[in-house]
Amino acid sequence: MSDAVSARRTSGAPDQPRHTESGGAEPDPTPPRGRGSRIMRLLALMGPAFVAGAWQFGPGNLTAAVQAGSRFGYSLIWVIVVSTLLMIAFTDMSVRIAIVSRGSLVETVKRTLGRPVGAAAGLGVFAIALMFAVGNAVGAGLGLSLVLGGSPVWWTLACTAVVATVLFTRGLYGVIEKVLLVMVTAMAVCFVVTAVLSRPDWNATAAGMLPTVPAGTGFLLVALVGTNFSINAAFYTGYASRERGLRRDQYRQTTLADTIPGIIAPGIMTILVIIASAAVLSGERSAGLADLAGVLEPIAGRTGRIIFALGFFGAAFSSMLANATAGGTLLSDGLGGGNQLSSSRVRLGILAVLAFGALVTAVVGGSPVQLIIIAQALTVVVAPLLGLLLIILANNHSLMDDLRNRWWHNTIAAIGLIAILATCYSLITSLL
């Protein structure tokens, strides 16, 4: 998995665009030469949406998906399908806004809608990052404790310290990223194989594409929406796209090479996790981490548990990196402190996100899995604000020009906003 740090470090590429007086970027005067060159250019555009997708497929999403499959079988697959489609729409809006903006998304919000609204946007992403921080912290500690033993809380504190060191030490992230990528890829491959070899009910899988809400979903349904329709990740994609120097003439290619596949990939993986869990753990009403690890036993035995635990840790650790960076960056940007990683205000925000996750993990008792589910569910509280801001900016004629929303964009956006508001209502009623 990648994170916002890797996106930021690629921003100094030699083909950085030259901006015109209207705020757009001049097209690259060098045309592509040959099929191989076109493929390389497409590969070069991959990144920002895959960062958002990797952020989605963290421990919270993985835990919620396994819980969904074990408790409700295949009936909640449709939630992932709908969330993925809506996520593509809002990520696309964020990318288009980034292309036409002179500054970051928060700076654009301030210029277009006023400084208080921009500050609210930065604070909103920061608040969501705090909730994700809890799930990431718990997940990292649980994953390591399952492999190495010991207290999950102490492992969480150790992981938090390592993440802070990685973020503030040049050259260290690249090595760790490769190790994490191997862990998560191994787990992903195992889920793909398990989803096939565990002999799932494919008729029930197809039926799960049709919207139904089984009784007792409660926080779990909200958590699935919060992690798979993650508007804060979509919002931050605009930052990563701008750091990459994405140009107006690259929009269509970026949509095909990055936005669509980058968001669809974690959606497919989440569906496969639900399928495997439904086939292997069907009827488990409250699966703990050891039970979740058992999903991979059909193909790898006890080794499958280790692969799951390491992959779970890898997903949590990489999400800690991305989440803390995004939360600290947008908080600082919203409050006027800039958005450069070297800024002391950005670093303080990053440390605040990490500290919050570690503190809640250490203080709150109860089931760690349930704590992850609750933390992911709470992320939907601020999402309507961020979604509304993206819709407003994407419809601004003077800002967007030919890249503004069309009627079908707004239709999908309205459905997404209604879905987020509905999950907020569901969360409130579950708490009462």
Closest C-alpha among 251, 224, 222 to residue 91: 251
Distance between CA atoms of 76 and 129, rounded to whole angstroms? 25
Q: Of 153-162, 282-291, 312-321, 370-379, give the range with the top mean pLDDT.
A: 153-162
Whether 151 is covered by a domain: the verdict is yes
Name the residue with higher pLDDT: 52 or 89.
89
Q: Output the pTM of the full model.
A: 0.79
- List the domain range (segments joined by +) for residue 271: 47-431
Distance between CA atoms of 388 and 384, rounded to whole angstroms? 6
Note the pLDDT of residue 47.
60
The encoded tokens of residue 154 equal 């102490």
Whether 109 is covered by a domain: the verdict is yes
Distance between CA atoms of 320 and 353, rounded to whole angstroms? 9
Whether 15 is covered by a domain: the verdict is no
Distance between CA atoms of 125 and 72, rounded to whole angstroms? 31
Question: Residue 403: pLDDT band by 50, 70, 90 thresholds?
Answer: very high
The encoded tokens of residue 47 equal 């990144």
Closest C-alpha among 94, 73, 64 to residue 258: 94
Helix H, strand E, coil C: the string for 147-197 is HHCCCHHHHHHHHHHHHHHHHCCCCHHHHHHHHHHHHHHHHHHHHHHHHHH
320 CB-near residues (< 8 Å, 6+ apart): 133, 136, 137, 140, 159, 160, 163, 354, 357
The encoded tokens of residue 403 equal 């890249």
Whether 288 and 63 have beta carbons less than 8 Å apart is answered as: no
Total residue count of the chain as it appears in this document? 432
| Angle, helices 368-377/59-72, rounded to nearest 10 degrees | 110
Note the pLDDT of residue 432.
64
Note the pLDDT of residue 352.
94
Whether 142 is covered by a domain: the verdict is yes
Average pLDDT over residues 398-423: 92
The per-residue pLDDT of the chain, averaged, comes to 79
Query: Which range (17-21, 70-74, 330-334) has the least confidence?
Result: 17-21
Query: Which range (139-148, 149-158, 171-180, 301-310) has the least confidence?
Result: 171-180
Cα 119 to chain center, whole Å? 22
Whether 372 and 59 have beta carbons less than 8 Å apart is answered as: yes
Note the pLDDT of residue 180.
59
Whether 10 is covered by a domain: the verdict is no
Whether 33 is covered by a domain: the verdict is no
Average pLDDT over residues 301-316: 78
- 420 pLDDT more than 60: yes
Closest C-alpha among 46, 56, 48, 59 to residue 83: 56
Whether 226 and 380 have beta carbons less than 8 Å apart is answered as: yes
Name the residue with higher pLDDT: 99 or 293.
99
Whether 25 is covered by a domain: the verdict is no
Distance between CA atoms of 121 and 387, rounded to whole angstroms? 10
Tell me the CA end-to-end span of the chain in Å, nearest whole number: 37
Counting the structural domains of the chain, the total is: 1
Q: What pLDDT, in 10s, does the model give residues 172-184? A: 656 665 665 566 6
Note the pLDDT of residue 14.
34
- 44 pLDDT more than 70: no
Closest C-alpha among 379, 383, 365 to residue 419: 383
Whether 287 is covered by a domain: the verdict is yes
- Percent of residues in the chain assigned helix, strand, coil, to nearest 5: 80, 0, 20
- 387 pLDDT more than 60: yes
Q: Is the dihedral of CA 246, 85, 236, 390 positive or negative?
A: positive
C-alpha pair distances (Å), 110 with each of 239, 242, 400: 15, 17, 16
Tell me which DSSP letter residue 286 carries. Answer: S
What CATH number is attached to the domain comprising 378? 1.20.1740.10
Note the pLDDT of residue 22.
36
How many Cα neighbours within 13 Å face the side chain of 47? 22
Query: Which range (36-45, 165-174, 278-287) has the least confidence?
Result: 36-45
The encoded tokens of residue 34 equal 């040959």
Rg (CA), the chain: 21
Note the pLDDT of residue 322.
80
Question: Residue 119: pLDDT band by 50, 70, 90 thresholds?
Answer: very high
- 304 pLDDT more than 90: no
Closest C-alpha among 223, 234, 263 to residue 135: 223
